[in-house]
Structure 1
């Protein structure tokens, strides 16, 4: 089973109970088209601009989602668009997101951009890796507000 950074980030952002209940899928090699689509989604997420108040708003949002006991969609092997659609369909989630200034798209793209950027800051990819190009403003935001980024990571765990 292939777990993408996007799925892992979204799953970490919300309680894990639903992931444990998800049916196991047989492992298979992704097709060239799936790999290309994944790389496109990773690049789109890595370039997504995080607003200046993203870290405290997302931390508050994650805590509210966890307090409500809302579970994540099984986002394994889904595109960003599919993950956004599944996230939007979770009962009760849209109200929490709206109360914190997020849409389902803002939430998935923001948490994905954060996860990718934070992961690549903490452990830069090796030379020659096909890593996405990060949004420099996101890198600057996370580096300038490391305690807040750490608080969001803690809330996600």
Structure 2
């Protein structure tokens, strides 16, 4: 496994404890993050490649921005998907009360929503900071790269809606 994927996997498994520690008083002992197993790393790599290759529709950027704004207006919070697989995240998203009608009104299923956001985030990240030569990073869908590069204003609007 490349150093980049090791760092990504470690960052994903350690992000919650680090965020929690940032809010705790200094006196409390620091807990070590659990290292992912080989099976978890393999599943993470498969999920990353699935997300990277997921085809974004041509109208994805404005439609997802409108969807996120509608979700925020409905005061619906996303599930805590930290350390979950794509399948688990999709299942948790589908179970959120009141979310399905909003997604449907914007032409998304829970699967489309999660995979679309994952694909967008991964592709945008790989465009912004390409991996070093020889890294075994996922390869983004070329059509998604072209879509994001051709619509930077819409990319910026979606990034803002995500924050």
Check whether TM > 0.5: yes
What is the deviation of 1:2? 4.6
> Which of 76, 81, 88 lines up with 1:82 in the alignment?
88
Q: Who wins on radius of gyration, i.e. which is larger?
A: 2
Q: Which 5+ residue runs of structure 2 have no aligned equivalent?
A: 1-9, 16-22, 24-30
* 1:3 pairs with 2:12: yes
* Structure 1: tracts of 5 or more residues without a match: 8-19
Deviation at 1:26, TM superposition (A): 6.6
TM superposition score normalised by structure 1: 0.84
**What does residue 103 of structure 1 align with?**
109
Structure-2 separation of matches of 1:26 and 1:155: 33
Considering only aligned residues, what root-mean-square deviation do their CA atoms show, in Å? Answer: 1.9
**1:136 is aligned to 2:142:** yes
Moved segments of 4+, more than 4 Å: none
Q: Number of paired residues?
A: 139
Secondary structure at 2:122 match in 1: helix
CA deviation after TM superposition for structure 1 residue 128, in Å: 2.1
TM-score for the superposition, normalised by structure 2: 0.81
Q: Is the 8 A contact 1:88 1:104 kept in 2?
A: yes
Q: Deviations 1:78-135 (Å, cap 9, x if unpaired)?
A: 1100000000000011110000000000000000000000011111111222210110
Give CA deviations for 1:17-59 in whole Å, capped at 9, x if unaligned: xxx9xxxx97200000000000000000000000000001000
Aligned residue number for residue 43 of structure 2: 37
In 2, Cα distance between equivalents of 1:73 and 1:151? 22
